[in-house]
């Protein structure tokens, strides 16, 4: 009886953690031990201080991003097409208000693009495992105007 209860409890924890990971970009679904490498960099007003990242397929990376700017930013991983689609959506939702995009970004990523938002002065973390069958991905801040001003970079997935 005890074992059954324990298994149930563990199952519930796993499910909850997984859901959190999908929605908030939380790393709760990956334990620290699974992380191969931590990559730290800065986001500022209209730039990331790393213009490209070399990551091996299958590698689990923890991004630690410090926002040293005066605006909120986001960090989203996806291919060029997905980034563009996301950008359009953010633009439509913002209705032209630059600041309004921030909160909406969180709920509208749809779950399949790893994403975090980083408030000014904050550090945000995102744990991500690089896919095996993709050549190049982009990372970007898709808050209206930011990508266009330079907030993007390439992720080179080296086999
Ligand atoms: Cu930004």
Q: How far is the CA of 29 from the centre of ligand 1 (A)?
A: 26
Domain boundaries along the sequence of the chain = 30-157
pLDDT at site 93: 86
Least Cα distance to 72 among 139, 13, 117 occurs for 117
Residue 49: phi, psi to the nearest 5? -85, 10
pLDDT by residue (tens digit) across 87-133?
999 999 876 555 444 444 444 444 579 999 999 999 999 999 999 98
For the chain, give the mean pLDDT.
80
pLDDT at site 77: 97
Residues with CB under 5 A from ligand 1 (ion): 73, 141, 143, 146, 151
18 phi-psi bin (left φ>0, alpha ψ -120 to 50, beta other): alpha
- Fold entry, domain 30-157: Immunoglobulin-like (2.60.40)
Longest Cα pair distance anywhere in the chain, in angstroms? 60
* Residues 6+ positions from 159 with CB-CB distance below 8 Å: 56, 57
Q: In the 8-state DSSP scheme, what is residue 91? A: H
Q: How far is the CA of 21 from the centre of ligand 1 (A)?
A: 22
> Which one is predicted more confidently, 132 or 10?
132
pLDDT at site 51: 81
Q: In the predicted model, what is the mean pLDDT of residues 125-153? A: 95
Percent of the residues in the chain that have a pLDDT greater than 70, as a whole number: 70
**Edge to edge, what strands does the sheet with 37-44 contain?**
47-48, 37-44, 60-67, 123-129
Residue pair 67/73 in contact (Cβ under 8 Å)? The answer is yes
Q: Count CA atoms closer than 13 A to 115's CA, side-chain side.
A: 27
Q: How far is the CA of 155 from the centre of ligand 1 (A)?
A: 18
pLDDT higher than 90, residue 18: no
Q: How far is the CA of 44 from the centre of ligand 1 (A)?
A: 8
Q: In the predicted model, what is the mean pLDDT of residues 73-94? A: 93
Q: What is the pTM of this model?
A: 0.72
Residues paired with residue 116 on neighbouring β-strands, in sequence order: 75
Residue pair 159/133 in contact (Cβ under 8 Å)? The answer is no
């Amino acid at each position: 009886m005890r074992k059954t209860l324990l298994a149930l409890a563990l199952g519930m924890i796993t499910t909850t953690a997984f859901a959190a990971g999908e929605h908030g970009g939380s790393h709760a679904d990956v334990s620290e031990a699974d992380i191969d490498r931590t990559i730290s960099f800065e986001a500022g007003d209209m730039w990331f201080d790393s213009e490209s990242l070399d990551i091996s397929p299958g590698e689990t990376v923890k991004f630690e991003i410090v926002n040293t700017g005066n605006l909120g930013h986001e960090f989203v991983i996806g291919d060029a097409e997905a980034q563009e689609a996301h950008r359009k959506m953010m633009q439509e939702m913002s209705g032209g208000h630059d600041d309004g995009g921030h909160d909406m970004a969180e709920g509208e990523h749809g779950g399949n693009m790893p994403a975090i938002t980083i408030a000014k002065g904050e550090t945000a973390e995102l744990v991500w495992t690089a896919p095996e069958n993709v050549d190049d991905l982009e990372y970007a801040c898709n808050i209206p105007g930011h990508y266009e001003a330079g907030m993007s970079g390439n992720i080179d997935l080296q086999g």
